[in-house]
A and B are shown apart, each in its own frame.
Chain A
Amino acid sequence: MVRNYLKFIGFFTLLSGECFGAEGGMPQLNPEYWVSQIFWVILIFGTLYIILWRIILPKINANLENRNSQILTDLDDAQKFKDQSEEKLSEYNNILNQAKQEAKKILDGTRKKVNRDIENKKNQFNLEISKEIENAEKEIKTLKLSSIKDINKIAIETSSEIVRKIVGTEVNSSSVSAIVEDTSKKEITKYI
């Protein structure tokens, strides 16, 4: 490999020497400034190396790491926020469900209470009505009874008057009343 390279260089030297003889071959093989070039390349490359190593590369590295950590924390934050929002959503759903159930319970309770109230009121009303009816019936009965007495009295008076008019004599009122009472007792059952 080395020999090939040397051949290659020699060929080029010869070529350039033959064709462009004026300057005497490849300037690369002219050792006049070799030391100068070695000196300057080491000096300049060394300076470049130290500046890049000490000043610039740490900056780039810090920036890249900074960005990476920033991205990671951002992703973490995003995940955290997502979790939080999901938690909040489930909490919200829970609250909503609870509220729905409560509302249902309240509704049911109220309905039952209202129904009970209605029932109570109805019963009370019925009771009152039946009491009223009873009272009325009692009243009617007493009225009927009192009216029978009155009727008897009127019947006695009328019959005694009729007898006096027809017969023309005074009638014993007690016997008339006995007869009336007897008849009325017989007939009264038809009305009471």
Chain B
Amino acid sequence: MPSSAVTASGQPGPVSNDQTFGAYARGLWSRLLAGQSGVLPVILGVILIGIIFQSQNPRFLSPENLVNLLVQGSVFMLIGMGQVFVLLLGEIDLSLGFVAGIGATVMVLLVTYAFGWPWWAAILAALAVTAAIGAVQGTLITRLRLPSFVVTLAGLLGLQGVMIQLLGTGGTIPVPDEMINNLANGTLTPMMGWILTAAAIAVYAVVTIVRHLRRHRSGLVTPPAGLTALKILAAIVAGVTLVVICNVDRGSVRFPFNGMPWVIPIVFGVLVMWSLLLGRTRFGRYIYAIGGNAEAARRAGISLPRIRTMAFVLAGMTAGIGGIIYASRLRSISTSFDGGTIVLYVVATAVIVGTSLFGGRGHPLHAVLGGVVIAAIVNGMALLGLPAAIQLMATAVVLLAAITVDVVIRRRGETTR
């Protein structure tokens, strides 16, 4: 509550405080110049990548390839959403690749005939194990104040060893459970795709409209009503486009094959859940606060070790989901799983879209969009038949270009101190 001394002259704002479109556009433009460009540059980048590859190979933007690309990127997106929690604190978790590998291994082992667990129990156990790994590493980092880089580097090495140990001499274990294989390979019926998408858009529309009306009624600065309508329209267009692309027959004449892959709602669900957690709860606010200024957070009475450890737990668990999808996509898990490379790609996905390595800035959406970018580049260059050497160098250039644009734009917006 404001102190009573202050309320005497404190005036609530005028009854209606709606911005006009012009005012909103000017505000948006000044935010862009100030470096708060959000995800706009990346969306432009994706369009540019699309144009380049499409002009070289018309199959790039075919529905078949686009769906394939999303599925390819899903593992990066999921592990990346875990990494965002840690990056927001200004820490890094190099072990997440092999944490995902451990999650996949635990799940696959438990559903094999030796154990014979049902698919859901195996998944829960895998997530519990990955969360526990996060808890152990997080505790070492926050309670003993060890640097996260070193602790998780040890995790990267040690967990690869554990994974090889668990997989045994054979080195490859196939997934005998259809349900688990379907997570990445299964598709919804076209009708189900429509229903789910319509439901998601409806929820988004209702939430957006309610929030707009509430702000409008309480006299807070409200973006123009037309913008709210525009946002909902954009969501509808995006949703319909996605379903139409997914529902095009991408099989052969003899084996028609269409529908939205299960991974799309899975990634979307995790994205919504973590966005809510980070954006709308105290826990999320404290993650950002610690990343922005840990001393200020401490003085505000926030328990730093608790929040930090929790972030590592969530990172491990989210990486576990990514590992499960990985095993599902390959219908097996093997010692050839390269968690070291995966984790570096995962850091790249988040950073390309604007998550800071120094903490305080980032969003799970960055990991998802970054996953699209990385998958598009890898997929596009594979379509063009470029050798691996060129692919790696080109990926590096894109990463450097993205981070340069991000840093240069953003630096303009901060006042020098």
Q: Do A and B come from one complex?
A: no
B residues apposed to A, CB below 8 Å: none
